Structure 1
């Protein structure tokens, strides 16, 4: 029997359609407006409110913004701008406050009369945050009065807070009748000259998932970058969740929810901390069963909203941030580039700035309320700062109206295309001085060569920019690209060619660095063929002085860099050739901190080390291609040996840094003395590694009445050892001692290497003078 088909007309009709009014559509599909409902979306809501305040600053109407993180999980943004309009909007009959916070695509940024360059331009920012908040309170100072309106999940109404000083989203709420305007409450008076807006909201736990976490670090980064991009704007962050002094854990034990905590230790202290932060913030090993029970009891007394807000607005770390942090910069993008620069500068900070106009067709709201196509003239302001540092990493940050565009866009494309083109012209014009063979097709500057060590901030300000998506990751306004290109061609072209006064020496240094990066890239491509040991033929292509290990032991292979041929002869007899390779160097290698990249590549010793390690150099270094698991510097235990190790470390730090970062560079620790025991202990030896250790050991032997040969052997170099002695003390993994080279703080190392190894003598001399009194002989090799 065939089943009867359902009547299609009856199963799907107008009654099947759902119409979402107002902000309900936002709550139904929040991802369309804030991207995600995890931590990223949680932070995006805050950016929308902050961006509205920053837009007032861009319009010249605001010079102070305050962001307050309340202990109840709410966030407040306060600005001294013009304040949201409080009068009635004629078409809707609603106050400006209610229109801005309840109507999508409503605001003053569509007509281009009140704002010329803004970050929040879709007209959905404040209303979306309102829709996704369990509660939102707004206060506006205008016309000598403070006006207030409150919302629950996007709907206006009134709250009855038992304690007005501590408002809560769980307080009784009475919603305004549908299709009725909500009157603004006048809750105070202010001087007529004072204006501004205060928005406080509680993120809705019904919207954001359980993994959503507030990031204080992201907030500080965003606030700091905004202060750079809007010179003269002061931004204050007040974190009421963490007291002003000490660590978070120490201070929160002193005061919990406004009440002094009992002075106790152990489990009681842990319980107090949980009461303030939630049990999830304590390490597992510190959370005892009794304390966990207290936390559960405390959490049970909280409402679901309070528990969720507490989780979402929880600090990511317990590092004890200052309670109040203020940011104010006057140098604009120049200060920003200086802040982002890490390492020794190759050039000063260069600036490209100006403005131009372009034509754009847009939809305007006419007097009849209808949209009409209109050709308008836009103004594009460009402000770019850049410099090169002695590194191979690049940092390029881009912004449109202070909103970051991580994906770049038309402004970045215009800047990079013009800059690369001008660099190529300058290299061609100075080919002889830079030793570039223009006939060689491989010696062409690529964008990656220009980017190496570049630190740049690219900003444009335009009205109604076109972004790819609500999250504004990529600028899509095509007319911006030719404007940025022309300005970069003109202004940067004069700088890099040296025709602009004061730039000749700097441009020469920049071009040398870029050409050096080009040669390194070409060299890396050539040496990639010999990066892995696969057969005897490939091993034969290595430097002839390399005494390689047997293939097939890459996971344990060790490369010993040996000082001189004398030590090499002993080391060959002392090594285990199954996994230990030897590469001799002749004396002190090139100081690469002073030398250019091209000089380093043409230096025989440096080139041999890079080739033997087999992983490339600089930005192209690939640690997975390294032929050895350990690189061990085996130099004499004297001043010259220490100097050679510093030179080698400078080479590794500058051009093979991942080896140090991954703990694969070591210094051998050979002994200085050998004590030959006598009497019944004849044939046994004791090795010491410093003069102080020798004196102490001899005194200990005398006190224990152990005979020894008074003629103590002092090693002047590794070549004075026989093979057995070198193996036992320095090379055999079972008995040797190695010192691993660590780099706990790359930024600190970046400052120390130029100081100790650079060509600027006065700072190094001053360093020696300043630290002479603190000289500790035990910290150096003798």
Structure 2
């Protein structure tokens, strides 16, 4: 039998030329073919416009989402070059949009620092588009060119306007960059409109407006003075929505925007730079072949740091305004510089801080830190086209040096404000270290027993018999009257009860020590059994579900909000895992009266609208009901059977799962509604007062 491997030769190999490789393996260039890949394509086009603004040649970028599924990006930069590129004999527009690894960012002469560095952004988007149109204003003229799946040509559009389904005539022998109009004197810029190819992207792929707005805001922060305009006109039945972003404060303003808590320090700005050399391949003088050459590089570092009263860490890193969510050498240098500096500073002040020989950990230093780390560098080395990780090795040492120099200057300052802030910060960092060491010691010495045996749980807890965490439920109920009804109503096999007295402490405004000294908060944390804050371990939680069961009135809603604030601030993994629920008790009990011996029927409604709908239905059917209708003001008004049937029976009850899909926005809402700053909350209440009907206020 012949060896099948002998038949495998060079003639079996396939060579994909030009943009064919992109269409064959789009994931290599844009990550995926779902909404994430669709957004990546859009940002490849936007980043080209941002690079113009970053180089000082533009101040406005507009992105429009059209009703036909296309998207357009226009800027007031210099415009894509329209002259002939000598090596290919093609116009600059055609080179940029059809040739991989072609562009003006491979050297430092056109752009000191840029986000689009691989020369594949525009050409990849072109290859993955059913149609792409580009217009360029330069030299008093407007030039235009169109492409279908990367191939240049002309679309014969009808009266309905441009469409990817219009008849397309490809260029055969030569291509043409058409002059389609005149541009005002001194006006330059580029306009790109494209339709993503349905042959490449999945049907469910769509442009995410929230993601687009978030990144546009981010870009406006990173490029002070740049205006980003997002217009969404996809819904033809409604007016287009427009969002504008412009910030002149730069990354200082960005750090303040990102910060989720009250400040311990002001926002500190640290800037620095460093030089390094690297060996790269460049074209020779004749432009025919690549030769290796050692070049000198200068990297600029710009940081904004702010510590707050909380313990969450929020560090955003960027290279040439491109986000690097997975970090890289610049972020490693930032963290290493922070840790080394604070270790030395704590050691210097060891007697005052009473630290002994204990060493700081990275998490101790970063606790409560909000930071924006930006570096600008010609031709950075990214790991992959998606540019999520910076690989330039020299960035680590340069950023570390800048961090050390900046913090040294701040801590050596003789200004009263700086001294006060640095002392507070050292105290905070050392306290984080002591808390970590204490938690670790407690965890190591604690015997792994059932929580009932190893700890003294609150006496008011009415526990369940089951040890199966997945099946067990903890009801946090409001008051002893509700407990008196819920206790006989529950299934004691898997349902536990913990009563609380009225409104617990607002932990959004209170300190950690105040929270821990509050008996109600401490009881809830102790009963859940998984710790709190950074030491919270969801694997140790004693119950699979935590259900907040409060009265169906304004006070009950307030109590539920205070409880959710406690879980969000100190037991957030429970929300992330979807293990916190709000019970939905009924508002009304309607007894439908039947004639003869047929027993009366009881129906519960959960809103005023549902009640009115039911009554209208009964009236239409000619059925009678007991009057007055019972309106439940509190859980204690129900008997045990009613409470079980409506609120506690897993087969019949209605629960609302409390989720934490958007942690950043949730943080801002909690700070607005429950925080210490009264003015924004007052403004929020005044603005929303018109949306509340007087009849809805339960007084």
Question: So what's the TM-score if we normalise by structure 2?
Answer: 0.76
Give 2:246's aligned residue.
328
Shift of 1:365: 1.8
Separation (CA, whole Å) in 1 of partners of 2:149 and 2:646 = 69
Aligned to 2:18, the other structure's residue is in SS state coil
2:289 aligned with 1:368? no
CA–CA separation in structure 2 for the residues paired with 1:663 and 1:7? 59
**Residue from 253, 266, 270 that aligns with 1:348:** 266
Aligned equivalent of 2:384: 469
What is the aligned counterpart of 1:395 among 295, 314, 335?
Answer: 314
Residue 656 (structure 1) shift: 3.2
Contact 2:550–2:557 (8 Å) recurs in 1: no
Q: 1:413 matched to which residue of 2?
A: 332
Matched, 1:68 2:33: no
The 1-side partners of 2:441 and 2:519 are apart by 16
Kindly state the Cα deviation for residue 115 of structure 1 after the two structures are TM-superposed: 1.1
Alignment match, 1:46: 42
How many residues align structurally? 634
Mapping 1:237-252, distance limit 5 Å:
237-242=230-235, 251=238
1:174 aligns with 2:169: yes
Question: Is the contact between residue 458 and residue 523 of structure 2 (CA under 8 Å) also seen in structure 1?
Answer: no
Q: Is the 8 A contact 1:387 1:454 kept in 2?
A: yes
Does the alignment pair 1:753 with 2:674? yes
Q: Residues 532 and 614 of structure 1 are in contact (CA less than 8 Å); yes or no, is this contact kept in structure 2?
A: no
Verify: 1:518 aligned to 2:439, yes or no.
no
User: Which secondary structure does the structure 2 equivalent of 1:123 belong to?
Assistant: coil
1:272 maps to: none
Shift of 1:373: 1.9
Q: Shift in Å at residue 768 of structure 1?
A: 13
| Structure 1 residues 585 and 384: alpha-carbon distance in aligned structure 2, compared to 1, 3 A threshold | same
Shift of 1:51: 1.0
Structural mapping, 1:280-299, within 5 Å: none
* Kept after mapping to 1: 8 A contact 2:107/2:378: no
Matches of 2:232 and 2:678, distance apart in 1? 45
* RMSD of aligned residue pairs (Cα, Å): 4.9
Change (3 A) 1:504 1:612: farther
CA drift of 1:57 comes to 0.9
Which whole-Å deviations, capped at 9, do the CAs of 1:393-433 have from their partners, x for residues lacking one? Answer: 32221111111111100111111111123333444445555
- TM-score w.r.t. the length of structure 1 is 0.68
Is the counterpart of residue 85 in structure 1 residue 81 in structure 2?
yes
Give SS of 2:333's match. helix
* Structure 1 segments unaligned to the other structure (5+ residues): 244-249, 252-319, 669-724
1:160 counterpart residue number: 156
Partners of 1:359 and 1:376 within 8 A in 2 = yes
Give the Cα separation in 1 of the matches to 2:678 and 2:2.
95
**Is residue 546–residue 579 contact of structure 2 (8 Å, CA) maintained in 1?**
no
* Equivalent residues of 1:365, 1:371 under 8 A apart: yes
Q: Is the 8 A contact 1:531 1:613 kept in 2?
A: no
Residue 477 of structure 1 deviates from its aligned partner by 0.4
**Could you say which residue in structure 1 is the equivalent of 2:186?**
193
Aligned partner of residue 318 in structure 2, secondary structure: strand
Q: Is the 8 A contact 1:516 1:596 kept in 2?
A: no
Looking at structure 2, the residues matched to 69 and 431 of structure 1 have their Cα atoms a distance apart, in angstroms, of 58
Distance 1:763 1:187 in 2: 52
Which stretch shifts more, 448-457 or 227-236?
Answer: 448-457
Q: Are the aligned partners of 2:584 and 2:647 in contact in 1 as well (CA < 8 Å)?
A: no
Asked whether the 8 Å contact 1:557–1:630 carries over to 2, the reply is: yes
Say if 2:461 is the partner of 1:552: no
Check conservation: 2:529, 2:541, Cα contact below 8 A: yes
Residue 130 of structure 1 aligns to a residue whose secondary structure is: helix
5+ long unaligned stretches in structure 2: 586-634, 649-653, 660-665
Q: CA deviation at 1:171?
A: 2.0
Does the CA-based 8 Å contact 1:242-1:323 persist in structure 2? no
> Match of 2:417, SS?
coil
Deviations 1:122-173 (A, max 9, x none): 111111212222222211111111111222221222222233x611222222
Shift of 1:731: 13
Compute the displacement of 1:465 (Å). Answer: 0.2
In the alignment, is the contact (CA less than 8 A) between 2:64 and 2:72 conserved in 1? yes
Query: What is the distance in 2 between the residues matched to 1:14 and 1:424?
Result: 60
**2:610 equivalent in structure 1:** none
| Aligned-partner Cα distance in 2 for 1:647–1:6 | 71
Tell me which of 448, 460, 474 is aligned to 2:375. 460
Which residue in the other structure is 2:206 paired with?
Answer: 213
Partner SS, residue 503 of structure 1: helix
**Matches of 1:666 and 1:4, distance apart in 2:** 72
> Shift in Å at residue 391 of structure 1?
3.1
Greater gyration radius: 1
